[in-house]
Amino acid sequence: MTGWHTSDDLVTRYTDGSLPEPDAWSLEKHLESCGDCAARVSQAVRETAAGVTLAEVREAVLGAAPTTSPASASASLSRSQSRSRRRLPFPSVGSRTARVLWAAGPAVRGAWLPAVLLVAFGAVALAYGADFDAARPLLLAVAPVVPVVGVALSYGAHADPLHEITAATPSAGLRLMLTRTAAVLAVSLPLLTLAGLLLPASGAPAAAAWLLPGLTLTLASLALAGYTGFRTATAVTGGGWLCAVLAPALTARGGLTARLADQLSAYLDGAPAQGAWAAAAVLCAALLATRRRAYDRLERR
C-alpha cells in the first residue's frame, strides 16, 4: 500500500463531476482499498444533490424488498456492488462428489434409480418372502434391460429436459453420453449382481453371467442410437433381448421356471456364449469410436 491519499481538491472535483474520467477511475481504484478516503468521498457526495437522490433510491429499494437479507438488498442496489460482494461458500460446485452426480445426468436422478432398487429388492423379496423359485431366472432375464433403460433415460431431447441447452455446450455429444452411461452402469451392475447372488440358483446361470450381455446390449444401444436416436435404439436392443429370452420360454412346454432357466443357460452359460457377447461388445465399442461424430448433433427437429 502506498502512502498516497486523495487530496481535498481531488475529492471536490470528483463529487462535482469536473474531474477528468481517467483521474476519476484511478481515484475509484484507490477507494476500493482505502477505507479512509472512501469515507471522505462518501461524505462529500452525500452533501451534493446526488446524495439526496441516492438516499431516496436506497430507501425505495429497501422498501420494495422487505424480506430480503442485507446482502441481497445491496446486490440489487448496484451491480458493481454485487460483483465485489464477499463470495459465499459454495460447496455444491467444488466438491468432487457433486460433480460426479451432476455428470450422471437425468437417469440416475430420476425415476430410473428407484426402478433399479425395486427390481433388486423385489427379486430378493419374492424369493424369500413368497418362496418364488423363478426369482433368479427372472432377474437374469430382466437385468440386461435395466442399464439399457437407464441409457434411454439419460440423453437426448426426449429424456433430458435440459437437452436444448446442453446441446449448445462443449460437453454435448459422445463424451457426455458415455459419462452418463458409465453412471448408469456403475449403479445397476453391482446392485443387480448382488441381488442375484442372494437368490437361490433354481438351475439358472450364475449371478454374474448377465454382466457381459448387459454391457454389450448397452453398447449396442449407444451404437445404434447414432443411426436411429436413443428411443428407437433402446427399444430395439432391450425389446429384442426380452423377446429372445421370454418368447421361447413362454411358448415351449414344461415348467416356466425350467424353460426360462434353460433359455438363459443357452444364452449365458459357457465360454462360447460369453465369448460371443464379448466379441459383440468390442464390435459395438469400435463402431462407437468410428462414428463418434454422429453424436454431436443427434437430435434434429
Partner 1 sequence: MPTIRVTGLHVRHRKTVALDALDLDFGPGVHGLLGPNGAGKTSLIRVLATVAEPSGGRVEILGENTGEQRRRGTVRRQLGYLPQEFGYYPGFTVREFVAYVAWLKEMRTADAPAAVERAVGRVGLADRIDTKVRTLSGGMVRRVGIAQAIVNDPRVLLFDEPTAGLDPEQRVEFRELLRELGASATVIVSTHLVEDVAAACTEVTLVDAGRVAWRGTPGSLAALGESAGAAGSAGDNAIERGYTAALRAHRDSGRPQTLEGTAR
Q: Which residues bind partner 1 (CB under 8 A)?
A: 65, 68-69, 71-73, 75-76, 79, 82-83, 85, 87-88, 90, 92-94, 99, 102, 106, 109, 160-172, 176, 293, 296-297, 300-301
To partner 1, the closest distance from the beta carbon of 275 in angstroms equals 35
Which of 157/198 has CB closer to partner 1?
157
Which of 73/278 has CB closer to partner 1?
73
What DSSP letter does each residue of 82-103 carry, written as one string? HHHSPPPP-HHHH-HHHHHHHH
Which of 5/85 has CB closer to partner 1?
85
Which single residue is written with the C-alpha cell 425389446?
239
To partner 1, the closest distance from the beta carbon of 95 in angstroms equals 10
Which of 4/90 has CB closer to partner 1?
90
To partner 1, the closest distance from the beta carbon of 59 in angstroms equals 18
Which of 107/204 has CB closer to partner 1?
107
C-alpha closest to that of 230 among 278, 184, 170: 184
To partner 1, the closest distance from the beta carbon of 187 in angstroms equals 17
Q: What angle do CA 110, 184, 194 make, to 5 degrees?
A: 105
For residues 196 and 139, the answer to whether their CB atoms sit within 8 Å is yes
Instruction: Report long-range pairs for 23-31 (Cβ below 8 Å, ≥24 apart).
Output: 30/4, 30/5, 30/6, 31/6
Which of 29/158 has CB closer to partner 1?
158
To partner 1, the closest distance from the beta carbon of 80 in angstroms equals 10
Q: Which conformational region is residue 203 in: left (phi greater than 0), alpha (psi within -120 to 50 degrees), or beta?
A: left
**How many CA atoms lie within 13 Å of 226's alpha carbon, on the beta-carbon side?**
21
Which of 161/255 has CB closer to partner 1?
161
> CA dist 234 to 86, 140, 144, 150, 300, Å?
48, 18, 12, 9, 18
CA distance 278 to 267: 13
